[in-house]
Amino acid sequence: MAGLNDTIALQKKPFYKNGTYLFFCCAFFTMSFGTSAFTLSGALGLCFCIISILFQHNRFEIWKSKLIFPVLAVIILTWAGLLWSTDVHGSGIKFAGKTYYWLFALALASIPFNRYNVHTLFRFFFAGLALNALTGLLQLAGIVPVFSKWGLTGFSGSYNSLAMLLNLGMLLASVYAKKAENKKEKAIYIVLVVLYFSHLIILQGRGGYLTFAVLSPIILYHLFSIKRIWTLAILYLLVIGLMFSSPVVQKRVNELYKNIVTHFQEAEKFSNGEKYSTYVDRIYMWNWALSLFGRHPFLGVGTGGYSKAILNSGGDRAIAHPHNNILYIAVSYGILGLVVFGWLFWVLLKIAWIHPQHVFGNFILFSVLVIFVGGLVDTPLLDAGGIFLFSLTVGLGLALELYDKPTAQSRANNA
């Protein structure tokens, strides 16, 4: 096919032919609203995908994509991991059951994006994220009631996935601002970046602060087209200072500092992570993940086996996962898992690299980055919001391979 068309509007066809596309627009809109909303939208999109394929309204040649093979490898590994899991009927089957999210990736990839306006997906994403951010700010002002025990999260029930989406929204909006055709359009995307940032700094998610601190230079570069490193450094320090001016950020960072100091004043068995400490529990999680990986380096402890393996090895607290993507993969599936998941991420990044000027390529790159950085202190690969985002990212990667073949010239430009 000639390539993805970024300008053709929604086709005037019967609803059942556009259902998959429309419901995934809804899924992008509701991603920041919580699990139920985006899962329902994705499920309806999947249903219409199946209907479309069954009645041959859409030819879906998924095997033409190179990305499908690492995806299948991850699915197979997850279920095969039950064979050597130490907790098959508990966390094992629960974690393996989450592979149904990959169906959303296949459904999204089935949409013939060469017939639709690809920017519409992201306009829905921006709109939903903006609505939720406004709700969070109104909660801060006391105008709207707080729905979550985690504070000013808008409609969302947690702050970890939301913070990840806000960072992704800022990254993507900064690209749209850079490519804007006029000042009005650019101003709109700059306002979105400011709005998302304002919501991020009133959330309690320290992982979100870390992600922003690491990736904000990309945002600043796109917004201001900065070419001098010193100018970028000065702007970066100003923005980080602005983030730390938030009382919520100050409180959360001060809590972490005090907890770390208190933690290392405890007995050695607590401070080195051998025993559980309420002050800095991640040291306990990471210590046991590394220890168990050292004992089971090739295949790990199996799908969902981490918590029971801790207790079986002398730990005093069962933790579902180590709150780190890399350690989760390593302790669960060993070197084999690191190779399989590394293969998947490599293919995704390669797709993004080949399509640097396409919005799908931008989304894939930024999504991988926020999942990676956020995954240093949490496990988005197990969280519903994180898995859904990752599945959509893979779905867009599949779509790029199926509907937009790069030319020899584009490959040369990126060599």
Q: How far apart are the first and last CA of the chain?
A: 23
Confidence of residue 226 (pLDDT cuts 50, 70, 90): confident
Q: Is the pLDDT of residue 46 over 60?
A: yes
Confidence of residue 63 (pLDDT cuts 50, 70, 90): confident
Question: What are the tens digits of pLDDT across the range 95-128?
Answer: 999 999 999 999 999 988 888 888 999 999 999 9
How many Å apart are CA 274 and CA 43, to the nearest integer? 43
What is the H or E stretch that residue 23 is in? helix 15-30
Q: Is the pLDDT of residue 93 over 60?
A: yes
Predicted pLDDT at 279: 84
Domain ranges of the chain: 15-261+317-413
Q: Is the pLDDT of residue 67 over 50?
A: yes
Question: What are the tens digits of pLDDT across the range 228-245?
Answer: 899 999 999 999 999 999
Q: Across all residues in the chain, what is the average pLDDT? A: 90
In sequence order, the β-bridge partners of residue 148 are 151
Exposure string (b/e) for 64-99, b if CB count within 10 Å is 16 or more? ebebbebbebbeebbebbbebbbbbebbbeebbebb
Question: What are the tens digits of pLDDT across the range 15-32?
Answer: 556 889 999 999 999 999
Q: What's the average model confidence in pLDDT over 245-251? A: 97
- The whole-model pTM stands at 0.92
101-110, 273-282, 284-293: range with lowest mean pLDDT: 273-282
How many Å apart are CA 25 and CA 138, to the nearest integer? 25
59-68, 319-328, 374-383: range with lowest mean pLDDT: 59-68
